[in-house]
C-alpha cells in the first residue's frame, strides 16, 4: 500500500470515529436545530420586509393619484 492510500484510509477511519462519538452527534443535532431556527427567522424577516415594501408602494401610489386628482394644476 502506498503512502497516499494509507493516509486516506487513516483519515477516513478517524473521521468515522469522530462522527460516531456522542459529543459529535449531540453537537450536530444542536447545530442542525439552530440552523433550522435561523432559517425560519430569516424567512420571517424577509416576509416582513417584503410586506412593508408592498405597503409602502401601495400607499405612495395611492397618495400620488389622490394628489394629482386634487391638484389638477400640478399634473
Q: In total, how many domains does the chain have?
A: 1
* Residue 14 pLDDT class (50, 70, 90 cuts): very high
First-to-final CA distance of the chain: 85
- pLDDT tens across 21-59, in order? 999 999 999 999 999 999 999 999 988 888 888 877 776
Residue 71 located in a structural domain:
yes
- Alpha-carbon distance 9 to 3, whole Å? 10
E strand or H helix at 47: helix 22-70
Contact criterion met (CB below 8 Å) for 59 and 52: no
- pLDDT tens across 59-70, in order? 666 556 666 666
Residue 27 located in a structural domain:
no
Domain limits for position 71: 49-75
Residue 12 located in a structural domain:
no
Sign of CA dihedral 21, 25, 28, 31: negative
Amino acid at each position: 500500500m502506498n503512502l497516499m492510500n494509507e493516509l486516506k484510509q487513516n483519515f477516513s477511519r478517524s473521521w468515522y470515529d469522530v462522527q460516531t462519538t456522542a459529543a459529535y452527534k449531540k453537537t450536530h443535532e444542536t447545530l442542525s436545530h439552530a440552523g433550522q431556527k435561523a432559517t425560519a427567522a430569516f424567512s420571517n424577516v424577509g416576509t416582513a420586509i417584503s410586506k412593508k415594501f408592498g405597503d409602502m408602494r401601495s400607499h405612495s401610489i395611492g397618495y400620488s393619484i389622490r394628489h394629482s386628482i386634487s391638484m389638477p394644476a400640478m399634473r
